[in-house]
Structure 1
Amino acid sequence: MQSSELARLAGVTVRSLRHWHQIGVLPEPARSSNGYRDYDAVDLVRVLRIRRLASLGMPLERMGSVLDRGDSSAGLLDDLDAEISAQIARLTRQRELIARMRDAGASPDVPPELAPVVSAFVAAGLSPEMARFDRDQAVLLAHLAGEEGMPQLVRVYEHLAVPARARAAADLMNRFGAIDDATDAAVVEGIVDELVDACLGLLGEIDEPGIRSRLTRAAHVLSEYAEESLNPRQRAALDSVESRLAAS
């Protein structure tokens, strides 16, 4: 029989047969005079056995011992059971994270630990443009903080997410987001003053070992992101904020 007939009888695709040939789990049959693979009932049985093992979750690369040597030891089944248990645990954690993201009304690409806080800023009135900027910063900061620094970063965000602070932060960021070529220089300078005061106040209130150094290390990456995401007046304002904080 040809590959299409074998695939139909076994309930698989011709593409699967080709893949199994490539990785060696299904030996290549002899070819007929017209050059097509010529399968027989033995090949059909092997394909059915592959399907059965795959349905148990057995990786293709581990099927050789069962298909060729008849290895059906309890140890192999124990390994499969352990692997499936690990997959279930991983999927359960993913479902829990998805539930947390859904409850927070957050974008799925935001780190789940920060999702409720990022959503709090949006609820406080952060503009869509600044919400995207804040989201991207959260993604960058979470990556730079790593697993070790994430608890500290969460505490910083939670400090800012208290309703009164969140509203003040959203208002300040919205005014920063509105800066353009037409914005009066005195208005820009006032916003810079407020940003500096807010940053100094935050660092003063969140006085935990490691936070200031982590934020300092992250500053150059965030600056590069801002360079590509903000307009020239906004970038100049942030440069001024960064310079004044460095001198404080």
Structure 2
Amino acid sequence: MNSGEIAAMAGVSVRTLRHYHQVGVLPEPPRRANGYREYTVRDLVLLLRIRRLAELGIALDEIPSMLETGRRADAVLDELDRELAGQIERLTARRAAIARLRAAGASPDTPPELAGVLGAGAAGGPDLPPEVLQHDREVMLLLHHRLDEDGRAALAGLMSQVTEPRVRAATTELTARFAALAPDAPDAEIDRLVTAFQSVLGHLDLAGFEDVDPRIGALLTAYQESVFNDAQREFLARLSQVVSEGTTPAAPTP
């Protein structure tokens, strides 16, 4: 048999056959006078055994010792079974994440834990400009990536509160006002918006955000500088201050 014939009989490609030769798992047979390899039925049997082991997922460098002695068969199969069990668990988790994203109408890059609050219609949905929704998603992605497990749970809990029907209408209206802030908006307008936001935040449970890593704050500041105008950044700075200090901004001048 030549290489094409034995490959066809074994159900592998000629390229795979040559790869087995190159890595040393399948010895090369002698060549005929015309330079072509001459395979025997024994070569076919060995190739079939290699194919079966490879299909199980056994690494090629493990196969020669198994073929020679079989002593490591149980250990290799146990290890392979554990690896496959882990893969099944990871794939099952991925499918569950996909299902959550689909159910929420969320984009594929949304953390599954936040799918319900960042999906279509959540947190203002179509009532807010697309760029505002995009900013919200990007901030949530940054936070989710940098927070630890407890912080992520706190973030999901906070976003669930924000998207409750009784709160969502207020936050949507205030977010729209924030988006409409002109770069040269007067201090009085900024302070009125801070007061309005603080009123809403006062009804939310902010547990879990008391000791946020300063590096996260620096990251968010860098993001804000890249997407928001001067008045919007000033608003965020004032809001952060009054929330952290538990104070109320001075009454704005009418």
TM-score band w.r.t. shorter chain: 0.7 to 0.9
CA distance in 1, matches of 2:35, 2:151: 62
Q: In the alignment, which residue of structure 2 is the partner of 1:218?
A: 216
SS at match of 1:141: helix
Q: Does 1:48 align with 2:48?
A: yes
Q: Which is helix-richer, 1 or 2? A: 1
Q: In the alignment, which residue of structure 2 is the partner of 1:70?
A: 70
* Unmatched segments (≥5 aa) in structure 1: none
Give the 3 Å change call, closer, same or farther, for CA 220–92 of structure 1 in structure 2: same
Shift of 1:35: 7.0
Shift of 1:131: 2.0
CA distance in 1, matches of 2:56, 2:178: 57
SS at match of 1:102: helix
| Letter matched to residue 239 of structure 1 | R
Deviations 1:164-188 (A, max 9, x none): 3223323333444455xxx473479
| Letter matched to residue 218 of structure 2 | H
| Letter matched to residue 237 of structure 1 | A
Percent same amino acid at aligned positions?
40
8 Å contact kept, 1:125–1:167: no
Q: In the alignment, which residue of structure 2 is the partner of 1:239?
A: 233
8 Å contact kept, 1:200–1:245: no
Q: In the alignment, which residue of structure 2 is the partner of 1:194?
A: 193
Number of matched pairs: 239
SS at match of 1:211: coil
Shift of 1:130: 2.0
| Letter matched to residue 141 of structure 1 | L
CA distance in 1, matches of 2:149, 2:170: 29
8 Å contact kept, 1:6–1:39: no
Q: For 1:84-95, what aligned pairs fall within 5 Å after superposition?
A: 84-95=84-95
Give the 3 Å change call, closer, same or farther, for CA 185–72 of structure 1 in structure 2: closer
Shift of 1:133: 1.9
| Letter matched to residue 185 of structure 1 | D
Give the 3 Å change call, closer, same or farther, for CA 66–188 of structure 1 in structure 2: farther
8 Å contact kept, 2:66–2:73: no
Give the 3 Å change call, closer, same or farther, for CA 237–59 of structure 1 in structure 2: farther
Shift of 1:108: 1.6
Task: Find the structure with the greater CA-based Rg.
Answer: 2
Q: Does 1:149 align with 2:151?
A: yes
Q: In the alignment, which residue of structure 1 is the partner of 2:123?
A: 121
More displaced stretch, 219-228 vs 68-77: 68-77
* Unmatched segments (≥5 aa) in structure 2: 243-254
Give the 3 Å change call, closer, same or farther, for CA 150–3 of structure 1 in structure 2: farther
